[in-house]
Amino acid sequence: MKQASITYTTIIKDSNYRKLIFSKMIDRFGDSVDVIAFTWLIYQITHSAMWSALIFAFNMLPNVIVQPFAGALVEKRNKKNVIIAAYMIRAVVITLFATLYMLGGVNAPIMAVLTLIITTIESFSLPASSAFTAQVIKKEHLTSGMSLSKVLTNSASLVGTGIAGVIISLWGVVPAMIIDISTFIIASILILLMNTKEITHNRTDTDTNSPSEKFITLFTDGMKYVTKTPMVKNFCILCVALNFMLVPINALQAPIAEEIFKMGSELLSFGGVFASLGGIVGAALLPLFARKFSALQSVCIGTGIEGIGLFGIAMGGIVSGEAILCYIDVSACFFAMMLAATLIGGIIGIQFMKTVDLEYIARASAVFNAFSTAAMPIGSLLVSLFVSHISTKNIMLFGVVFAVVVLFVILVSRPSLEKGEEIVDAA
């Protein structure tokens, strides 16, 4: 860990890195407040687990359909400007929604449309952000830089989630939305103040083509790059399986609180706090895991922990009616699952950045994100169909069974997830 500490000290001195991390922290803080408000608002307006799952599916859909094309569109554009524009547009959309809510014009279909709009905007900002981060953080600092980023952003999420329940219970959801709007504006200003130079690539024959031909070439080249890079394909397949496994816990949070634990939004906020703590611990342990375990071993350990956490939530009905025991159960499970998810995501993210050529980062990350999140809307749509006939508890138990199957397949197939020569750098 000595080397990691020195690297932390080195990268934190970079003013661009500091601005980037602070913008991510502020953005994560606002989103953590808003997500509790939005999740609870959906369930309170609809009183339907089906709508909760359906809107969650809409939240993921643009990442699957739009993002591969968005990655090609932003590849040759100024990533900094794309990120700033995305922040400001999201601020405008949330402002319109808050206004509509105060006028009493919000219902389930409107919330579904809002979700689609916001996630479509994110489909452009995510690949731009991946490419921009690769420009700011030096390749030799990726492990420590991304680890530190996760620690700090999860800390911001911890604070936001912790106060979200208090804000909602005392003042309602509108103040939570105002906080989210403010964080978008502040984060965009920090990105604007960064002194960075856009990396340009060698001129190719496609530069003389029409805009539509350029787009088609960029898009097809990005798809070919991903399909012809074995490790990136493995990343995609693995993330599809793991995300599908976690669909119930993500899509049914409000029903879990009310139907399994017989409690309200305060339980989600409490669980969110410990989820953020798990993310902080997972990010802090990331360099150690990268040094002590192979990427494959880390993924196996994380998958096992995820399955145990899902089982703990599914069996929460045993302690329903006992508030303290409910808090303990949810806290322990959310902490463990987020710790595991952070380790898995961190390991895969680092290996992805080290594997992909810089000129393909935006396109490859867009395709990767699209494939890895594909299971989320599909799984959520399935949950929305079955939740009226199957209890929330049994759907959670399905996630446990699926986790066991995924772990077994990983152990048997042993997919390649890293370049052997890169393990030393993880120290």
pLDDT, tens digit, for every residue of 355-379?
A: 777 677 777 777 777 777 777 777 7
CATH number at residue 177: 1.20.1250.20
Kindly state the tokens that stand for 316: 């929460």
Give the residue, 1 or 32, on which the prediction is more confident. Answer: 32
Asked if residue 202 has pLDDT above 50, the reply is no
Q: Decide if 39 contacts 264 (C-beta within 8 A).
A: no
Residue 208 forms part of a structural domain: no
CB atoms < 10 A from the CB of 340, how many?
Answer: 24
Residue 204 forms part of a structural domain: no
Give the mean pLDDT of 416-427: 49
Asked if residue 424 has pLDDT above 50, the reply is no
Q: Where are the alpha helices (H) located in 103-201, listed in sequence order? A: 108-136, 142-171, 173-192
Residue 192 forms part of a structural domain: yes
What's residue 222's pLDDT? 67
Give the residue, 175 or 189, on which the prediction is more confident. Answer: 189
Structural domain containing residue 283: 2-197+213-426
Residue 207 forms part of a structural domain: no
Grouping H, G, I as helix, E, B as strand and the rest as coil, residue 104 is coil
User: Rounded to whole angstroms, how far apart are CA atoms 257 and 271?
Assistant: 10
Instruction: Report the range out of 5-9, 93-97, 237-241 with the highest average pLDDT.
Output: 93-97
Q: How far apart are the first and last CA of the chain?
A: 7
Pick from 200, 262, 244, 172: nearest CA to 75: 200
Buried b / exposed e across 385-403, counting CB within 10 Å, b at 16+? eebeeebbbebbbbbbebb
The DSSP annotation for 334-356 comes to: HHHHHHHHHHHHHHHHHHHHHHS
- Element spanning 26, H or E: helix 15-46
Q: In this predicted structure, which of 39-53, 263-277, 303-317, 403-417 has the lowest mean pLDDT?
A: 39-53
Tokens 């009310």 — which residue? Answer: 258
Q: Decide if 243 contacts 344 (C-beta within 8 A).
A: no
Give the residue, 168 or 323, on which the prediction is more confident. Answer: 323
User: Rounded to whole angstroms, how far apart are CA atoms 425 and 140?
Assistant: 7
Give the residue, 108 or 80, on which the prediction is more confident. Answer: 80
Grouping H, G, I as helix, E, B as strand and the rest as coil, residue 210 is coil
pLDDT, tens digit, for every residue of 28-79?
A: 888 888 777 777 777 677 777 677 667 767 777 777 777 777 777 777 778 8
Q: At what angle do helices 230-245 and 295-314 cross, to 10 degrees?
A: 10
Grouping H, G, I as helix, E, B as strand and the rest as coil, residue 80 is helix
Residue 202 forms part of a structural domain: no
CB atoms < 10 A from the CB of 176, how many?
Answer: 26
- Element spanning 78, H or E: none
pLDDT category of residue 171 using cuts at 50, 70 and 90: confident
pLDDT category of residue 218 using cuts at 50, 70 and 90: low
User: Rounded to whole angstroms, how far apart are CA atoms 264 and 255?
Assistant: 9
Number of domains in the chain: 1
Residue 206 forms part of a structural domain: no
Global pTM?
0.65
User: Rounded to whole angstroms, how far apart are CA atoms 93 and 118?
Assistant: 7
| Mean pLDDT, the chain, integer | 78
CA separation, residue 46 to residues 174, 185, 260, 418 (Å): 18, 31, 18, 45
User: Rounded to whole angstroms, how far apart are CA atoms 101 and 174?
Assistant: 8
Residue 281 forms part of a structural domain: yes
Share of residues in the chain with pLDDT > 90 (%): 10
